Structure formats: structure tokens, C-alpha cells
Amino acid sequence: MGQSLRILFLFKRYYMGKDVIADRYGRLFQFPYQLARRGHQVSCLLSDYHLKSSGPGSLTRDEINWKSAPVSRPDRWLAEARNAARDCDVIIGSSDCLQVCMASYLAKKFGKPCLLDLYDNYESFGLAKIPLVKSYYAKAIRRAGATSCIGDELRGMVERRYSPTGFTLTLNSTIAENQFFPVDRAAAREALGLPADSVLVGLCGGLMSIRGVGYFYRAVQELWREGVDIKLVLAGTPHASEPPPQGENTILLGNLAFDQMNTFYNAVNLNVLQYLDNEFGKYCYPQKLEEIIATGAPLVSASVGEMRRRFSETPSVLFQPEDISSIKAAVLRQLDSPTRYDTSTQTWDAVGQKLESALYRLNSGPD
């Protein structure tokens, strides 16, 4: 084990509909947690974007010092950030353009090494529409000592678009052990109140136009017109710009709790990963990708970005996301004879080890 580092994280408190502190969820929880369990002194300053602050403002949990400050009080947030930055060895910024830019600013002001973590193409987020944000964001990445990316597609784009002076690395997101696993389909359907004998095709998460869900809806409607007996099951809130098909063959479950998602993936005959080949889809690494893979449940996926890489050896599960005929063919193919695919996933422990190695390299100075 190397020396203990004093590490400051900057990121938003709520992401993917979860409270990072209360729900102990995903990448933004696991990165600090994995470093703390390795003996590092970890502090996290979380920006609360809610109009009304919720939850504790400060607590120590999982050997991590958590502080939450509302962005409606930038003076308070900046004071907390400056105090924390003075006493740390390294700063890590993640979750959106604002957090990345603030991490870069504090690192420069206090002479600290900085790692920027990108779990998405943050330029596709709403904050990037604010004037000058994109230019400051690009500058932050160019001068960062290190930039970690959720996938190889995003890493390649970062290297091409921003020409960072520091090193880059890929740190995939994964899932906590024993959260996602095979479950008897009949039992899963009973738990969610789904029809026992129907052929169910499931789509979950952000049901928005940026993901191209309208193309999938139209493909399903064509299959219905052709006499294919399937039901569409949606978990999530449909967006007004892309309303789902109406009628008895569409089942709306609404937003399921996180601990219900394993049941959902196992309940349907086929899970769908629908994304477009756009600035969002080509660089994202969907959390649900790892979740579904861990269950071993049948799936079809848009042939874009990380999904195309992940299923390069099983192309029968892939479809062209804007081609209705391609979507229909993939659905029918996988319902008739589901393809077996590699169900191996990384552990957060392994990801944490890679992150720790990157921080030691960063803290040792230029190569």
C-alpha cells in the first residue's frame, strides 16, 4: 500500500434520480468509498441543485467526510470548497461541466494536482448551454493532470477534441455485488403485477427523444400491425415529446424503485437498450447495460458507442437505432432464439484499484 492521500471530491449530490449520500449509489459513491477503504482521507463536497436543500449538510459515513451545499448559496459553497482545497493533496471533479470547471479552478488556485472524471459527455448536459461554459470546460480538461472516462469511446473523443496535456484513462462503471442476478421469470412477473403468459418487451430509464425511443415505438407498432403478439412494458416516465403507443398492449409501470430493477429485467422476455448515434448516445456507458448483463436476461441493443464495442462478438443482438426494419428484425430474432453473451462484469474493487494507481501517478508529478 502506498502513502495515504488527502482527496477532495467535487460533484453534484443527486444524479440518475438518486441521492449519492443516502442511497450510496453508483460511481459518485463508489469512487470515494473505494479510496476510503484503502486508507485514504476522503472528503466530498456535494452541490445540491435542488431549490430547497434536503438531507444532512454534513456528516461522516463510510469513513468519508460528506458535506452538501446548495448552489442557491454560491458564497457558502465557494467558502467550503476553498477551505477543503487548501488542505488536500489532490482534487477530483465529476458529474457535469460546472463541477469540472470548479475543480480545475481550485486546483490552479491552490497548486493541487487535479483529476477530472467524465461519466458522460458533459457537453450534452443542459449546463453546457450556459454561455462560456463549454470553453471553460474544454480549458479545464486541457490543463488537468489526468482525465478518467467511463468508456473507451468517450476517452477517444476527449483526446481528439480537447488534446489534454495530462494522461487519460478508462474507468468503467459497474455494479455492486449481489444487486443484479437471475430470478425466476414467473416470480418476477407476479412481483410486478405483469401478465404471466404474454411475450413482454421491456424498455426503461429516460424515455426521451435524445435516446430515440420514438423509433422503437414505431417499430413495435409495425410489429403489432403485422400480427406479432407482444406487449410493450415501460418503466420510467414517458416524455411528452415522445408519447408511447396507446392501448392494451402497452403497460406503463412508472418509475420503479432501484431495488425493483433486477425484477424488471428478469420479468420481460426481452430488454431493450435504445440510444441514438448522437453526442449523448455514442459516448455514454449506460448503467443499465451492466445491470442487464449481470442478470443474463435476453436483450437487444442499439449499435452505437460502447454497446457496439461490448457486443462486437455477438452482433445478432444489435440493431441500427434509426432503422425500423433493423429494430424489428433484432426483436424477432432475439425473441425466437436469444443469443448468449458474455455476462462477466468488473468489480468496484478493481475499478477503485485503477483509480488509486492513477492518483499516485498524478501526485508524483509529471511523467
Banded pLDDT at 18 (limits 50, 70, 90): confident
Within this chain, do residues 58 and 152 fall inside the same structural domain, yes or no?
A: yes
pLDDT band at 54 (very low <50, low <70, confident <90, very high): low
Is the model's pLDDT at 365 over the cut of 80? no
Q: Which residues of 250-274 are buried (b: 16+ CB within 10 A; e: fewer)?
A: bbebeeeeeebbbbbbbbbbbbbbb
Q: Give Cβ neighbours of residue 156 (< 8 Å, ≥ 6 apart).
A: none
21 shares a domain with 161: yes
Which residue has 482525465 as its cell numbers? 147
**Termini Cα distance of the chain:** 21
Report if residue 342 sits inside a domain. Answer: no
Is residue 32 located within the same domain as residue 124? yes
Same domain, 280 and 143: no
Tell me the per-residue pLDDT of 203-258, one tens digit each, with 9 for 90 and over.
999 899 999 999 999 999 999 999 999 999 999 999 999 999 999 999 999 999 99
Domain co-membership, 276 together with 357: no
**293 in the same domain as 159:** no
Share of the chain above pLDDT 70, in %: 97
Q: What is the pLDDT at residue 1?
A: 55
Q: pLDDT tens digits, residue range 277-290? A: 999 999 999 999 99
For residue 284, what are the domain limits? 185-336
pLDDT mean over 85-97: 97
Number of domains in the chain: 2
Residues 154 and 219 in one domain: no
User: What proportion of the chain, given as a percentage, has pLDDT over 90?
Assistant: 83
Mean pLDDT of 129-134: 94
- Model confidence pLDDT, tens digit, residues 151-197: 999 999 999 999 999 999 999 999 988 899 999 999 999 999 999 99
Q: What is the pLDDT of residue 367?
A: 52
Domain co-membership, 10 together with 159: yes
CATH number at residue 67: 3.40.50.2000
Whether residue 346 is predicted with pLDDT greater than 80 in this model: the reply is yes
Residue 180 located in a structural domain = no
**Taking all residues of the chain, what is their mean pLDDT, rounded to a whole number?**
94
Q: Which residues contact 80 (CB under 8 A, 6 or more apart)?
A: 45, 67, 69
Q: What mean pLDDT is predicted for residues 322-340?
A: 97
> Beta-carbon neighbour count of residue 23 at 10 Å?
13
Whether 179 is covered by a domain: the verdict is no
Same domain, 51 and 93: yes
Q: What's this model's pTM, rounded to 2 decimal places? A: 0.90
CA distance 235 to 301: 17
Question: Which of 66-75, 216-225, 240-249, 344-353 has the weakest average pLDDT?
Answer: 66-75
Residues 158, 289, single domain; the answer is no
Query: Do 27 and 78 belong to one domain?
Result: yes
The answer to whether residues 146 and 284 belong to one domain is: no
Mean pLDDT across 105-132 = 95
The verdict on residue 197 lying in a domain is yes
Answer whether residue 213 is part of any domain: yes
Average pLDDT over residues 77-94: 94
